[in-house]
Chain A
Amino acid sequence: MRDVVILGVGMTKFGISSLSQKEMFAEAALEALQESQVKARDLQALFVGNVLGDFEEGQINIAPFLAAEIGMRPEAPATRFESACASATVAVRHAALLVRSGEYDLVMAGGTERTAIMGTPLATKTFAMGSHSEYERFSGITFPGVFGMVAHQYAAKYGIPLESLKQAMAKVAVKNHKNGVLNPLAHFRKEITVDTVLQSPMIADPLQLFDCCPFSDGAAAIVIADAERFGDRVEKPILVAGTGQGSAGPLYRQKDLTRMAAREASAKQAYEEAGLGPSDIDVIELHDCFTIAEVVALEMLGIFDFGEAPEAIERGDTALDGKIPVNPSGGLKAKGHPIGATGAAQTYEIVKQLRGECGDRQVKDAKVGLVDTLGGDFGTVCNLVLRRY
């Protein structure tokens, strides 16, 4: 098996943008190419996450337009990946797998999304299309609703008073906003308090507005290459040490929503492939679409024992200066969540952390990092273990 490395990364500022999805992607892609010291015409393929472009801009099959936009050649296949919020991570993973297999030596992966233009009612409706269209959607279930059910089930399962769980959840939001202040590309750069969360409007019980990440616009791009042929182009290539991806059916088949089969399968694959375990991880970017999502993800990734994440969060273990810093970028909560670009942006952050380029939000001496992205009602989870090469 060949070693696969990330040569360079690029990312737009996340937030509300007046740029089109193609314009945003071009900005991120050109930055990634420049960092990588390679040219677009040398890229052999493009793998791009994009979820709701159909509704946002009336644009399907965006991938070849993006390839043409940045000057890739007709010989290079360009393909859109759609796995809801996990789309870009799935794109990055497939890019890495095809480089490792020897099919390609130099490719780009990434994602672009312009969610804010939809407005909240259409965005809520289109996001809910991630639920089973015959047997779930007609209940009016929403993504916050799904994670509201996770929170209630978690409290019942572990016998934790809902008010205590909500305190720990609020601390996730407070921590991620604090990190976001240090990230110039974050959507929100403003500290909040536990009271900000607990006094915000209820969205889907027990989740309040500040338990939820925003709809954002943004793009990110990653150049992935065979280490032997291209590794010496840059000073600090980052190894894709392991990847994983799991799948699961509708919520009513998953039953215990505090244990997501797709994530446990995916994380296991990624750790095993990397020959590493949870205790080897120095920094994590994980899918905090809602505060409770960060709580349960930490347990399924093996960072804390089941039922113990709330206590660890209260202790500060996941803070920037804690035992295992989580979401130093601000996470989806503060950095923002342009769904089809999110996984590429998580990868961007881990690459920058492992290169030691994160300034005030730098995790000290980070050598191994983990990316965790969840799509739909936990139907898709994709993980990447990255390390210094």
Chain B
Amino acid sequence: MSSYPLTFHEFKQGLAEGRLLGLKCLECGAGSVPPSAVCAECGSPKLEKNSFSKDGLIRTFTVIRVGPEGFEAPYIVALVELNEGPWVLGNLVEFDAAAAGMDLINKRVTVSSKGIPPDPGAAGVEGVVLTFELT
């Protein structure tokens, strides 16, 4: 049995310490953020833990006006391409949802994170969400 290369727990700990952890493939060089058992690009299990830059570009977004229980709308969800190539999902914060428009696409952001308390309605763990701020 091989051990999981970078667990959700470790990923969360990294964020709490201000680091965006992921995996770098020793075969193709691609980054996997968030982590997975094998390289997201080539499938190789030969991976090493790596800190990634916390800079990227917004590739697409939406403003959630009707959220699931436990989320207070409106808020912005965005997909961001990190400088190293991987894409990550998170919330654009410190930005007025009413001002969100197509011009957000390709805007540069920095990545931080925010802890999410465990869902009282499920046996889930404490979560974390990546947060993006325009630079």
A interface list, Cβ under 8 A from B: 120-122, 124-125, 128, 133-142, 144-146, 148-150, 152-153, 155-156, 162, 201-207, 249-253, 255, 257
With the chains together, A50 CA to B8 CA distance in Å? 29
Q: Do A134 and B63 contact each other (CB < 8 Å), given the known contacts A142-B68, A156-B105, A253-B87? A: no
**Residues of chain A with a CB closer than 8 A to B87's CB:** 252-253, 255
Check A145–B127 contact: CB distance below 8 A: no
B60 at the binding interface (Cβ < 8 Å): yes
Q: Do A251 and B89 contact each other (CB < 8 Å), given the known contacts A134-B34, A138-B127, A140-B77? A: yes
Check B61–A149 contact: CB distance below 8 A: yes
Q: Do A125 and B79 contact each other (CB < 8 Å), given the known contacts A138-B127, A138-B129, A253-B40? A: no
Q: Do A252 and B66 contact each other (CB < 8 Å), given the known contacts A138-B127, A139-B89, A140-B77? A: no
Q: Do A141 and B65 contact each other (CB < 8 Å), given the known contacts A134-B127, A149-B79? A: no
- Interchain nearest-CB distance for A152 vs B (Å): 5
Check A156–B69 contact: CB distance below 8 A: no
Minimum-distance CB pairs A-B, first 3: A148-B62, A138-B127, A140-B71
Partner among A134, A201, A207, A252 whose Cβ is within 8 Å of the Cβ of B79: A252
- Interchain nearest-CB distance for B104 vs A (Å): 8
Check A124–B68 contact: CB distance below 8 A: yes
Within B107-125, the residues touching A (CB, 8 Å) are: 116, 121, 124
B52 at the binding interface (Cβ < 8 Å): no
With the chains together, A148 CA to B75 CA distance in Å? 13
With the chains together, A121 CA to B36 CA distance in Å? 31
- Interchain nearest-CB distance for A112 vs B (Å): 24
**Residues of chain B with a CB closer than 8 A to A139's CB:** 77, 89-91, 129-130
B102 at the binding interface (Cβ < 8 Å): yes
Check A152–B61 contact: CB distance below 8 A: yes
With the chains together, A252 CA to B89 CA distance in Å? 6
With the chains together, A203 CA to B130 CA distance in Å? 22
With the chains together, A122 CA to B121 CA distance in Å? 10
Check A128–B116 contact: CB distance below 8 A: no
With the chains together, A156 CA to B104 CA distance in Å? 11
With the chains together, A156 CA to B101 CA distance in Å? 11
B23 at the binding interface (Cβ < 8 Å): no
Check A251–B79 contact: CB distance below 8 A: yes
Check A135–B62 contact: CB distance below 8 A: no
**Residues of chain B with a CB closer than 8 A to A251's CB:** 79, 89
Interface string of B59-102 (1 = CB under 8 A from A): 11111111111110001011101000011111100000000101
**Residues of chain B with a CB closer than 8 A to A250's CB:** 89
**Residues of chain B with a CB closer than 8 A to A253's CB:** 36, 40, 87
Partner among A138, A142, A144 whose Cβ is within 8 Å of the Cβ of B128: A138
Check B124–A133 contact: CB distance below 8 A: yes
**Residues of chain A with a CB closer than 8 A to B62's CB:** 144-146, 148-149, 152, 204-207
**Residues of chain A with a CB closer than 8 A to B36's CB:** 249, 253
**Residues of chain A with a CB closer than 8 A to B66's CB:** 120, 124, 142, 144, 203-204
**Residues of chain A with a CB closer than 8 A to B77's CB:** 139-141, 145, 149
Residue with the highest number of chain B CB atoms closer than 10 Å, among A120, A144, A145: A145
Partner among A140, A149, A202 whose Cβ is within 8 Å of the Cβ of B75: A140
**Residues of chain B with a CB closer than 8 A to A121's CB:** 68-69
- Interchain nearest-CB distance for A374 vs B (Å): 18
**Residues of chain B with a CB closer than 8 A to A152's CB:** 60-62, 102, 105
Q: A124-B68, A205-B65 are in contact. List 20 more A-B contacts (CB 8 A).
A: A121-B68, A125-B68, A125-B69, A125-B121, A128-B68, A134-B34, A140-B75, A144-B64, A145-B77, A149-B61, A149-B78, A152-B60, A152-B102, A153-B59, A153-B60, A156-B102, A156-B106, A205-B100, A206-B62, A255-B87
With the chains together, A153 CA to B106 CA distance in Å? 11
With the chains together, A128 CA to B67 CA distance in Å? 9
With the chains together, A152 CA to B64 CA distance in Å? 13
Partner among A140, A149, A162 whose Cβ is within 8 Å of the Cβ of B68: A140
**Residues of chain B with a CB closer than 8 A to A125's CB:** 68-70, 121
**Residues of chain A with a CB closer than 8 A to B91's CB:** 139-140
Partner among A120, A145, A255, A257 whose Cβ is within 8 Å of the Cβ of B64: A145
